[in-house]
Structure 1
Amino acid sequence: MVFRKLKAEAEIVLRHLEVLKTVMEKQPVGIFKLSDILNMPKHRIRYSLRVLEQSGIIVPTQYGAMVRDEGYDKIEEMKGELKEIKELINNIEELLNKL
């Protein structure tokens, strides 16, 4: 289907955000604790943490992941990007409804 890849990517982003939210609430927090809290496999937690780290949002410490001071600015940037994505989705929906 046309939207299969978009849906899969959205699900991954949702997982990254769930991990980020938990890191913000429980920091510093490690992979094992996150896995228990979120009931997700460790390899998925590890991947999400890597993506968040590469995005400059979190930093690994000896005690576990923590949000960087600059990470909060990155989160605000993501909110702006989400607004742009919503506009695109609305345009897609409008065109699809015209078919």
Structure 2
Amino acid sequence: MIDRLEKEVDMLERHLEVLRMVIENEPIGIVKMSNETGYPHHKVRYSLRVLEEENLIEPSSQGAITTERTEEFVAELDEKVDEIVGKLESMKIHASEKNEA
């Protein structure tokens, strides 16, 4: 179960890295992103597809570009990550309390 969570976090980290590259270098293509991040082309392509489904990027003839929603998402990201970290910390505390009992 924890292994699956770790894989999901790794995937989210990759999606956010790809999004950061689009924000900083738009328009940008798969090959350049793959070369600069070290992620295989198929993983970059998957991240781009996920980001497009979330309406955070869109394709153009020169490569991926941001959308109107991107800025709002980035502005809310820290708060949402903090909420998730808080939940995980709470789970960690509850688990250690149960082990002490």
TM-score by length of 2: 0.89
Q: Between Structure 1 and Structure 2, whose CA radius of gyration is higher?
A: 2
CA deviations over 1:62-97 (Å, ceiling 9, x no partner)? 010011122111223333321221111111110122
Post-superposition shift, 1:22? 1.1
- Counterpart Cα distance in 1 of 2:60 and 2:22: 12
Q: Which residue of 1 aligns with 2:64?
A: 65
- The 3-state SS of whatever aligns with 1:73 is helix
The root-mean-square deviation of aligned C-alpha atoms, in Å, is 1.2
Q: Which residue of 2 aligns with 1:83?
A: 82
Matches within 5 A, 1:25-40: 25-40=24-39
Q: 1:50 is aligned with what amino acid?
A: R
- Counterpart Cα distance in 1 of 2:53 and 2:79: 19
- More divergent stretch after superposition (68-77 vs 2-11): 68-77
Matches within 5 A, 1:43-62: 43-62=42-61
Post-superposition shift, 1:19? 0.7
CA deviations over 1:15-47 (Å, ceiling 9, x no partner)? 001111111111100011111111111000000
Q: Which residue of 2 aligns with 1:42?
A: 41
Q: Which residue of 1 aligns with 2:10?
A: 11
- More divergent stretch after superposition (19-28 vs 71-80): 71-80
- The 3-state SS of whatever aligns with 1:56 is coil
TM-score by length of 1: 0.90
- Counterpart Cα distance in 2 of 1:69 and 1:12: 24
- The 3-state SS of whatever aligns with 1:70 is helix
